[in-house]
Structure 1
Amino acid sequence: MSKAHEADRETPAASRIRALGLTSATGLVAGSVIGTGVFTMPAVLAGAGTSSLLVLGVVAAGAAVLAVLFGQLTKRAPDSDGGLYAYARREFGDFAGYLVGWCYWVSAWAGNAAIVASWVLYVEALFGIEHPSVWADLGIALAGLWIPAAVNLAGVRQMAWFQNTTVVLKFLPLLFVGVVGWFFVSKANFGAFNASGGSLYTAIGIAAGVALFAFIGVEVAAVTAKRVREPGRNVGRASVLGTAASAVVYLAVSAAVMGLVPHDVLVSSGTPFVPAFEAILPGGGWAGKLVAALAVVSGIGALNGWTLVTTEVSRAAAADGLFPRAFAWADRKDTAWFGIVLAALLPSLLMVWRYTSGTGLAVFSFLVNLAVVTVAIPYFFSACAQLAYLVSRRRRVHGLLLVRDLGITAAAVLFSLWVTFAAGYAAVYEAMLVLLAGLVLHALLKGRAAAGRQKAAAEETGDRWPRAA
């Protein structure tokens, strides 16, 4: 038996912790990638024109490259806890690890706030809530954040069951539109190749923004590798399978909806799946309820997976002394309960801000842009970590294998840079402010750790502490 396979074998205790098999890990990836955004994405893409489908395909290819990269990195270090954070720390040290962990953690819980902000609208549509009060909106949002938190607090096995169920419930109807819908497509409904009203570059920018946000989540199997059985093999497989399944759904569904709904109707619709369903199965107003139900299931599944991801990256950093130690507090099921609570509390505070400040749209736009750029930074560091490893010749790779690995790494580096560029200057500016704010926390933690070491050294030598300068 190979050493790699022996390293992947689990003891009974480890098996209880590593509750995610290949199916569950794949479901986690697909469920985290596909949230509520898929139900509005066709309308945004239509505003750019049919060229947006090519952009979506390019972003899907880039996401697949990242999925392969994360599989390679996890195979090299299958016990690395925290995924992207662990890769950066292993290759570049504590400071780089902290930056990646901080950026990814912010991206994860800010993304949850963005998901639940859209999720609220579908819940209200499902139950026919018209003209809701601020408190009704807030109550629904808090339910969307704390129900997944409760599922995660119950244990990773319950979380995996819930995740797999929601993935099946949302994939089947989406595939129905992406397959059956093509029999009802009309060529006249498709808009122009460039329908942005500006240059082709403008159209690409419109499509790229929504496409990039749509594929955030390809890395979640790597981030939760501690919870995955045989991570050296299953993380890479789950990342690729989950990303590929999401890409097929996105492309098939978006193109089908463009062909089912007239272009002028589609670009002005906030719920493009409603007229799409009516084109396939006309008769009655039940299509809106069905679409709302699909979006509710999809959103709650995404929130469930992202709660786990947010918790695991902060737990890993805390275990290494780079985040406050409270994030590593765990119960008898090895559930990092403090991290789960905070992963729900912080988006909850943002929702209070959104629904009481009267700046809802501005807050939502800020969250989406922030999530895109802050996740691009960890992607970039992960690609650079792999590049440093390959160039260092620590592993004997020759000929076509080396060319393949370098090609994957170079593509991941370029894709990460493009994600940052495509997000726009304002988003990069906002992300930089968040990153700088994180350095303040790092300074406090580092200073506290240094003071602790100084005190311990003084106690060993019998000197008074602190000693005057």
Structure 2
Amino acid sequence: MSRPQPAAERPGPSTPAEHKARALGLTSATGLVVGSVIGTGVFTMPAVLAGAGTSSLVVLAVVALGASLLAVLFGQLTRRVPNADGGLYAYARHEFGDFAGYLTGWCYWVSAWAGNAAIVSSWVLYVDALLGLDNPSGWVNWGIALAGLWIPAAVNLAGVRQMAWFENVTVVLKFVPLLFVGVVGWFFVSRGNFGAFNASGGSLYSAVGIAAGVALFAFIGVEVAAIIAKRVRRPGRNVGRASLLGTAASAVLYLLVSAAVMGLVPHDTLVATGTPFVPAFQAILPLGWAGKLVAALAVISGIGALNGWTLVTSEVSRATAADGLFPKAFAWADRKHTPWFGILVAAALPSVLMLWRYTASSGLTVFTFLVNLSVVTVAIPYFFSACAQLTYLVSRRRRVRGLLLVRDLLIAGVSVLFSLWVTFAAGYAAVYQALVLLLAGLVVYAFLNARRHNGEEAAKPGEDDTTQLPHAA
């Protein structure tokens, strides 16, 4: 006979409005995970990995395993936490209180919209290639970037169902061709094209560092089903499954495609190109339109990723605002339960960053900053979530269940270590920049907390800690 679930951990009955808002089933939630994980990065990742050597494939597999454990962890937390709205934010708040919840929500929100800016920055390059634009001006590229940010915003404003349909279509359109390279491409692979195990020119540690950065950024998105748990039907069952299925599918595709491209393109050529899929496609199909096809695939992949991340960015801010830990405007929703203000902000902030990117002389520096910033700021919510589960497991709130407890402790413990490694691998500069933004978030929290406590009964005489001045003689 199974132990009844404690009242504090049982989800309450959903209202008709909440039931209507849960428009995503297992298929759509899984598609959202895949669409969020696989963006434009997969089209440049093989070239970066090749710079580290074939050892990078081992690093990619290790990161994939860590991401899969996080997917299992988020499923466990969604089943346990009574109100998992907001995912990682909700886990931290449930276990550690409002302040930890706010820090988690703030860091993840920053990571989400900064990541959108990084995605659209890469996406613009493929749009230029597709349209045949040679050396377009910064203003032209900014206009393209605005289209990449605001088209997904418009789709999300139309409603969750329309967003899910759009996401499923883009996932299929980008998944099938990439799978074609990862499967058919192996029939054209040449062993002599693979580089050395360590091709970094330095130590094996240096090679691991090169590969880890792009691999870690590639798997950001494993948590999106948990973030939008309020939009998922039967979240206790489907969030974990969607997270694991989506992560596993993305991992298999990443490994197949990256290894195949390394074997299709000579190593010296691969490390010198920013569009590795062009020579890879030409090795399979020696046709002149390969470059246009690759650009079209990257454009579809990027717009799908931006579509999903626009929803995720608005959902984490909505959930945090609903609990009074974010400005109230982020909780504003229309009759379709769409957080329209959060969606607009999720598109507006990257738009401003892109204006900076295309009017400043250090555009590549800005892009690198956004990538590294996204990695560190998302590692903090990962760490809080893993610690929340670890706290629960070692406390007396759970009856010891032998091997099941050992399994769950192993998942939580490895997730803690993985989150720390993600932070370390991002580099000192990224950690420093993330710390500055975290401190800026504390200033915002100070005003929000003051407003939450405004109007409370003042302390009685003698109960405050202010020093009383002596009366004049």
1:217 aligns with 2:221: yes
Q: Deviations over 1:361-415 (max 9, x none)?
A: 1110110010000000000000000011111121223100100000000010010
Provide structure 1 residue ranges, at least 5 long, that are not aligned to the other structure: 459-467
| TM-score normalised over the length of structure 2 | 0.94
Match of 1:147 among 140, 151, 154: 151
For 2:381, the equivalent position in structure 1 comes to: 378
- Give secondary structure in 1 for the equivalent of 2:447: helix
Query: What letter matches 1:195 in structure 2?
Result: A
Find the aligned partners of 1:452 and 1:352 in 2 and give their Cα distance: 42
Provide structure 2 residue ranges, at least 5 long, that are not aligned to the other structure: 461-467
Find the aligned partners of 2:48 and 2:205 in 1 and give their Cα distance: 16
Q: Deviations over 1:78-126 (max 9, x none)?
A: 5311000000000000110010000000000000000000000001111
Aligned length in residues: 457
Q: Deviations over 1:281-325 (max 9, x none)?
A: 0132x0000000000000000000000000011011101111001
Aligned-residue offset at 1:12: 4.8
For 1:463, the equivalent position in structure 2 comes to: none
1:292 aligns with 2:295: yes
Find the aligned partners of 1:305 and 1:78 in 2 and give their Cα distance: 25
Query: What letter matches 1:394 in structure 2?
Result: R
Structure 2 counterparts to residues 26-425 of structure 1, below 5 A: 26-77=30-81, 79-284=83-288, 286-425=289-428
Aligned-residue offset at 1:450: 2.1
For 2:464, the equivalent position in structure 1 comes to: none
1:429 aligns with 2:432: yes
Aligned-residue offset at 1:7: 5.3
Find the aligned partners of 1:252 and 1:8 in 2 and give their Cα distance: 43
Find the aligned partners of 2:394 and 2:298 in 1 and give their Cα distance: 45
Please give the root-mean-square deviation of Cα atoms over the aligned residues, in Å: 1.9
- Percent of aligned pairs with the same amino acid: 80
Find the aligned partners of 1:146 and 1:396 in 2 and give their Cα distance: 49
Contact 1:8 / 1:231 at 8 angstroms: preserved in 2? no
- Give secondary structure in 1 for the equivalent of 2:456: helix
Find the aligned partners of 1:188 and 1:172 in 2 and give their Cα distance: 27
Find the aligned partners of 1:321 and 1:7 in 2 and give their Cα distance: 21
Find the aligned partners of 1:48 and 1:242 in 2 and give their Cα distance: 27
Aligned-residue offset at 1:447: 1.5
Contact 2:81 / 2:94 at 8 angstroms: preserved in 1? no
Contact 1:52 / 1:207 at 8 angstroms: preserved in 2? yes
Contact 1:307 / 1:344 at 8 angstroms: preserved in 2? yes
Find the aligned partners of 1:403 and 1:265 in 2 and give their Cα distance: 48
- Give secondary structure in 2 for the equivalent of 1:197: coil
| TM-score normalised over the length of structure 1 | 0.95
> Which stretches of structure 1, 4 residues or more, deviate above 6 A after TM superposition?
none
Query: What letter matches 2:353 in structure 1?
Result: L
Q: Deviations over 1:114-151 (max 9, x none)?
A: 00000000011111112211111000000000000000
Higher helix share: 1
Find the aligned partners of 2:209 and 2:256 in 1 and give their Cα distance: 21
Relative to structure 2, which stretch is displaced further, 272-281 or 353-362? 353-362
Contact 1:77 / 1:232 at 8 angstroms: preserved in 2? no
Find the aligned partners of 1:114 and 1:75 in 2 and give their Cα distance: 32
